[in-house]
Amino acid sequence: MRTSNQASRPIAAACLGLALALALVVGGCKSPSRQPKAPEPTPEQKAAAEARAKQGRDFYLGTRAAQQDIRDLFARVEGAAPHQWAEIARKLVAYGEPAVPQMMANLSSHQTGVAVMSAYTLGMIQDPRSLDALAQAVTSPHEQLRYEAATSMLRMGDPRGLPFMIDALENADPLVRARAILVLRERTGNTMGFVPDGKPEDRLAAVSRWRAWLARGGGVRAPRPVDAGATTR
C-alpha cells in the first residue's frame, strides 16, 4: 500500500515539469534586448566605400588627426583670398590619398567653392577612383564646377570630359574660353584654329571643327605626371 508521500511524488514531478516548460516558453517569448544603433558613416567613409566597391581597393585614410585637418582646410575655402586658396589647395594635394574620399564627397557640397576646390585638387592628385564622381560633377548646374571637373578628368586621361570642355569654348567670358582652349591643347595637342578673342563667326567654326573631331573618335593624351606643388588655376 502506497504512503501519502509516495502517492504525491508523481504529482510533484509533473508539476515541476510543467513549471519548467512554462518557464522555457515564457523565456523564449521575451523580446530580445535592443542593440545599440551603429553610428552613421561620415561622408568620406561613404565615398571610400563606393570607390572601394567600384575599384576593389581600400582608400588609405591616414590618422584621425589628418582627416580632421582636411576637414578644417575645406572649412576655410569659402571666402578665401586667391593666395589663401592656393595655399589650401597645396596642403590638400600634399595629403594625397587620405584626402581623396573627402574631396569626392565634397563634389556635391552646397558650397560651390568647396566643390570646385575638390574637383581641382582631385585633378592634381589624379586618383582614378575619383573619375566616376567627377563624371557626375560635370553635370552640375554650376558652371565653374562643371569646367573644373572636366579639366580634372582630362588631366587623368578620361575623354568623358571633352564635351564639357568644348562647350566652354562657347562661354561668354573670354577668360573661360582661353582656359578651355589651353586645357584642350594640352590634353589633345589640337586647337582647331580656335582663338579665344577671335571673331564670333570664326570661333563658331572652330567649335564645329572640335565637335566633328570628337564625333570621329578624338581622344586625349595619357595623364600628365602628378605635381603636388602645382596649384595654379
pLDDT in tens, 14-28: 444 444 443 434 444
Which amino acid is located at 120 in the chain?
A: Y
Could you tell me the three cell numbers for 163?
564635351
Query: pTM of whole model > 0.85?
Result: no
Q: By percentage, how much of the chain surpasses pLDDT 70?
A: 71
pLDDT in tens, 53-92: 555 567 788 889 999 999 999 999 998 999 999 999 999 9
Given CA atoms 197, 154, 185, 192 in this order, what sign does their dihedral have? negative
Per-residue pLDDT band at 46 (split at 50, 70, 90): low
pLDDT in tens, 149-203: 999 999 999 999 999 999 999 999 999 999 999 999 999 999 999 999 999 999 9
DSSP-assigned states of every residue in 44-111: HHHHHHHHHHHHS-PPP---HHHHHHHHHHHHTTTT--HHHHHHHHHHHHHH-GGGHHHHHHHTT-SS
Contact in structure between 136 and 151 (CB atoms under 8 Å): no
138: left (phi over 0), alpha (psi -120 to 50) or beta: alpha
Per-residue pLDDT, 14: 44
Q: Where are the domains of the chain?
A: 42-142, 157-223
Per-residue pLDDT, 218: 85
CA 213 to chain centre: 30
